[in-house]
Structures are given as C-alpha cells and as structure tokens.
Homo-oligomer: A and B are copies of this chain.
C-alpha cells in the first residue's frame, strides 16, 4: 500500500523517534525499539548503526539473558559531542565546555566589563573557547554555542537590542561572529532567561511552571511555562523590573521612568538607602559584603527589598499559578534575607490554595546557573529531531 517515496517519509519520522526514545538514557535492545516504534527490525538495526556511527548512542552491558543469546542494549551517549556555554555578565565572562549530558569538561571565568564592547569580549570568548576545546578535539566534536547576554536580545536574530549597560553592542551580530569562529550554530538569549533555563534544567525538570527572579543591578524574571521559556508577543515576558510599585513612587529609574520596582528594590537603590544612613556602600558587591559580615542595616534593607519584590510576585502567582519561584543573582545568594522577605509577603498575601503548594527557594545553581542555562539551550538544539536527522544524513 505504501510506495517508495511514502515509505521513505514515514520511516524517516519513525527512525527519528528511535533517538528521541533513547534520550532518556535507559538502555534498550533493538527488539524493544522495534516494538516501541512499530518499525521492522531491519529498519531499527540500520538506524541503530547510523546512530552508533555518529556517536550519539553507545552499546551498554548485555541484557540479562532469557535463555538464548543475550541481546545487546544501546543507550544515549552524550560524551562524544560538546557544546560551549557562554555567560556574559555586566562585569564577567564565564565559559564552560560541556558534553551533551550537561557535564562540565572544563571552564574558565574572568572579570571583564561587558562595556569593553563586543570585539574584546567576543575575542576573549573565541580565544578561550578554542583553548578549552583543544585538548578534547580528538575525542569530541563541538556542536553548538549557547550565549547569555546581560540585556534584551531579539529572539529571532539573537542580536542585543537597546542594551542599557552594553555600549557598542546594539544590534551586533553575536551569533554570526561566534558561528564563524567556531564553525557551529550559536544561540543567544538574555541572561535572566538563560538562568531560568539553567535552574529548571538542573534542578526542576519535573516542574512545568516556574518563575526565576534575578536581583542584581536590575530586577528581571525568566518565565517557564509548560517546561519552556515563555517569551510573549515581543519577547518582553518577565520584564518585571519596570512595574510601577507604590514603594517607589516618585523615585527615578535608570530607564528614564519613575516608580519602577528596580528603582526601589535593586542593588543601586539598596546601596543608596544604606549610603543615606552613613554606610560606605556603593554597589551590589558592597551590599553582598555588608550582609556577609552581618551588617544589620544591610540585612534589613535586603529583607525589605524582598518584601517589595514579593508584593509584585504575589500578582504573578495568582496569574500563572507556578509550582516554584526561584530567587537568584548576588543579592539572593548571600544568606536567606531576600528570600525571607519575599516568602513573608507571598505566603501572607497570596490566596491560601495557590500559596499552599508553592515553593519559594533561592537559586541552587547560583553563579553557575547562567553558564548551565546557556549550555542547556545549545544542548536542546543539538538533540532536537531536525539536528539529529541532519547529522545522520550528513554522515551517510
């Protein structure tokens, strides 16, 4: 009933399924794969051979014998391909070489201001990326690069748009430059989305809806809905730092507007209040240091910032009913003071049903969340159906 062209289209789709089934890491025999896909054993055998050739699966220890000759099992093997995860922050660059399981093979971190511009920053990324990968090139293939940038990114092109702390980066072709240098596709997103993805990928994969909030020089959120980053119609979803809040009424924000959440609850606002009280505190790093040494005023101000952010998040909880809220960024990572303020408000003000099962936690990934998310973004692309099919086709 099926002609040659039809057979090809159909077996293509079902063959692609074989790898997607094996991605969970569970070893399976050829005959189990035939049952799961409905494909003929000969078709399964040739697809398994192809996946072995491109080194996306590997044979595992023999299956328990059922009397006859033991059947060979195969499972996803992500150790022979690599991705580069790149976390470009306001004042640092963090680069990690990872395999397709997300395991770190090597990484490098350096304090460099993003304001130095794309030539210097991306030059550093290219030089260090090549250096990290060199010792592994004999046994691994670099497949993709994922990048997080500290400012808004146009999703379609991967270019920074209107980036307030990134002079010289506006509309710079970040994916083009890195793809040329490394010879692989490059995916770019803003740092908060990338951190949300990293935190979800590493610690909360069983949760569908999660809000990640970063508190640093600004306040922003990454919104995960149904397991994926939700971007909204213009890619602005999660831009909660410029919500008007009564506590910031009249206060000027770096965005040019007044009354924004950032203008009262982010690092510069907390530092300004502490300075007004006589403290020698100028930036987020000073706040972190003060909290660490137990400065009572700093602790109080961070907790109050948590309360103000919590009031905004209470509305977010009612709107999307997430399972988890994660607080990240430097101010969230020093003690539980920001977390305590946020919890206090949300658990008091959110409806009892929505608050009852909501977890509010500090980031576990911390400084590694961004580089982990940038890698996860690249790995997701490498293991997608289209990408695996292209690899098998190019190899044939």
Known contacts A1-B40, A11-B10, A246-B246: does B208 contact A318 (CB below 8 Å)? no
Give bound CA distance, A10 to B14, whole Å: 8
- B7 with A1: CB separation less than 8 A: yes
We find that the number of chain A residues with CB closer than 8 angstroms to chain B is 61
Give bound CA distance, A315 to B208, whole Å: 21
- B232 with A321: CB separation less than 8 A: yes
Q: A237-245, A327-335, A385-393: which lies at the B interface? A: A237-245
**A12, chain B: closest CB distance, angstroms:** 9
A157 part of interface (Cβ distance < 8 Å): no
A20 part of interface (Cβ distance < 8 Å): no
- A243 with B357: CB separation less than 8 A: no
Beta-carbon contacts under 8 Å, A1-36 to B = 1-3, 5-11, 13-14, 34
User: For residue A10, which residues in chain B have a CB less than 8 angstroms away from its CB?
Assistant: 2, 10-11, 13-14, 38-39
- A233 with B321: CB separation less than 8 A: yes
- B42 with A1: CB separation less than 8 A: yes
User: For residue A238, which residues in chain B have a CB less than 8 angstroms away from its CB?
Assistant: 318-319, 321
Give bound CA distance, A351 to B311, whole Å: 19
A230 part of interface (Cβ distance < 8 Å): yes
User: For residue A9, which residues in chain B have a CB less than 8 angstroms away from its CB?
Assistant: 14, 37-38
A234 part of interface (Cβ distance < 8 Å): yes
A63 part of interface (Cβ distance < 8 Å): no
The dominant DSSP class at the A interface is mixed
Beta-carbon contacts under 8 Å, A62-113 to B = none
- A240 with B318: CB separation less than 8 A: yes
Partner of A6, one of B38, B207, B243, B323: B38
User: For residue A208, which residues in chain B have a CB less than 8 angstroms away from its CB?
Assistant: 233
A371 part of interface (Cβ distance < 8 Å): no
- A2 with B7: CB separation less than 8 A: yes
A165 part of interface (Cβ distance < 8 Å): no
- A5 with B38: CB separation less than 8 A: yes
- B5 with A11: CB separation less than 8 A: no
Give bound CA distance, A172 to B67, whole Å: 54
Interface centre among A1, A39, A318 (most CB of B within 10 A): A318
Give bound CA distance, A236 to B316, whole Å: 12
CB-nearest residue of chain B relative to A40?
Answer: B3
A223 part of interface (Cβ distance < 8 Å): yes
Give bound CA distance, A1 to B9, whole Å: 13
CB-nearest residue of chain B relative to A41?
Answer: B3
**A117, chain B: closest CB distance, angstroms:** 24
A372 part of interface (Cβ distance < 8 Å): no
**A224, chain B: closest CB distance, angstroms:** 11
Known contacts A8-B38, A236-B351, A236-B353: does B2 contact A223 (CB below 8 Å)? no
- B39 with A6: CB separation less than 8 A: yes
User: For residue A235, which residues in chain B have a CB less than 8 angstroms away from its CB?
Assistant: 321
A219-232 CB mask vs B (1 if < 8 Å, else 0) is 00101011000111
17 A-B pairs in the complex with CB atoms less than 8 angstroms apart: A10-B10, A13-B13, A207-B233, A209-B233, A211-B319, A225-B226, A225-B230, A230-B320, A233-B357, A234-B321, A239-B351, A240-B318, A243-B314, A243-B315, A243-B318, A244-B314, A246-B246
